Amino acid sequence: MYGKCGDLWMARRCFDMMRIKNVVSWTSMLCALANHGSVDAASSWFDQMPERNIVSWNAMIYCYVQGGRCRETLDLYNRMKSLGLAPDEITLAAVLSACGQKGDLASGKLIHCYVRDRFSDPGIALLNSLLDMYAKCGQVDTAIALFTEMPNKNVVSWNVIIGALAMHGRAQETVLFFRTMVSHAFSPDEITFVSLLSACSHGGLLEAGQYYFKAMRHVYNVKPEVEHYACMVDLLGRRGHLTEAVNLIKDMPIKPDVVVWGALLGACRIHGNVWIGKLVIKQLLELEGTSGGLFVLISNLFYETRQLEYMKRLRKLMREQGAKKDMGVSSIEVNNRVHEFGVEDIRHESSNEIYAAVDQLSYHLVSMHDLAVQPVELILQD
C-alpha cells in the first residue's frame, strides 16, 4: 500500500519491521521501487533478493522498460532464460516493448518464434505487443498481416495499427483503418485521434483532419486534449493557414504547451512568416522548459529571413541559459546488433574503419561523377 502510494520510506520501514519475510515481501518492496522509477535502487534490491519468482523477474524487467533501459531489459530476459525460468506472457510483452523502443527487430522475431512454439492461444495483450514491436521496427506490413490474423481485437489493437500507419506516413490507409474500426463497432479514444490527426497533418489531408477534429467531441464524445490541438495547429500550419492556426490556439480551453507553440513556429519557418514567428517566440520564452531544439528552430527562422540581429541576440540568450540541442541519433541493425550514431560521432568502437569506408565511398562517387562529365566536356569542345 505504501509503495503504491509512493511512500518508499514507510514501505521500507514496514519491510524492516517484519520478522519473517518471504519472496512476496521482497517482491512487494521491489515493485515499490520500480513504481517510483528508482531503477538503480530496484536493480540493487533485485540482486540482494534471497529468492525470486516470476513476479520478481517481471517487476525488474518492467522497471528497466519504463526507465528506457532496453539493453538491460534484454540482458535480464536472457539471464532469466539461462537459469531455466520460463517467461510468461507478461514477461514477453515487456521485452517486446524494449525491442520496439530499441528497434531490435532480430530479438523481436526470436520472441515471436518463441510465442508460436510455446503458446497455442496467446492473449490479446501479448499479440498487441507483437504488433507494436513490428510497427516500431518499421515492419508495418508484417504488423498488418498479424493484425488481420488475430482472432480477437480490442481498442488497443486498433490503436497500435492505426498509430503504425500514421507514424510511417501512410495517411490514406490510416483514415481507412479508422473507418473500418468504427464500422466494427469499436469506439475510438483519445489515443486513436492523436494518431489519426497526426496522419492527416503529415499527409496534408486538411479537410479530413478538420472533419475528424470536430467529430471527436460531437460524434465520438472524446474531449480534445492539448495533443489533439497540437496536431491541428501543425496541420493548418503546414498548409499555410497560419491565421487559422493562431485563432485555434486562442480558442483553446486549455493552456497551450511548448508542443503547440513549436508546431506553429515550425509552420512560420516553412512559410517565412516572421511576424507571427516573433509572437510565438515571445510565448515560448515565457514557458519553462523550452528545449535547445526549439531555440535552434527560432534561430534558423531568423537566419532564413535575414533577421541577423535577432539571431545574434537569441544565440546570446541560449549561451546565458545554457541551452543545448540534444544530438540526433540514427540507428542501424547489422548482424543482429543495433548500432547508434550521431553527427561526427567517434564513440563507436569501429569509428576509424567506418570513417575510412565513408571517405572511400566519397572518393568513388567523385570519380564516377568525373567520368560522367568528361564525355560532355569533350562534346562541348568539339
**Residue spans of the chain under pLDDT 50:** none
pTM above 0.85?
no
Beta bridge partners, 338, equal 333
Sort residue 343 into left (φ over 0), alpha (ψ -120 to 50) or beta.
Answer: beta
**Whole-angstrom distance, CA of residue 196 vs CA of residue 251:** 22
pLDDT, tens digit, 9 for 90 and up, residues 181-240: 999 999 999 999 999 999 999 999 999 999 999 999 999 999 999 999 999 999 999 998
pLDDT, tens digit, 9 for 90 and up, residues 348-363: 777 778 878 887 887 7
Residue type at position 67: G
**Whole-angstrom distance, CA of residue 149 vs CA of residue 261:** 41
Q: Where are the domains of the chain?
A: 342-372
CA 357 to chain centre: 31
The DSSP call for residue 5 is: T
The DSSP call for residue 121 is: S
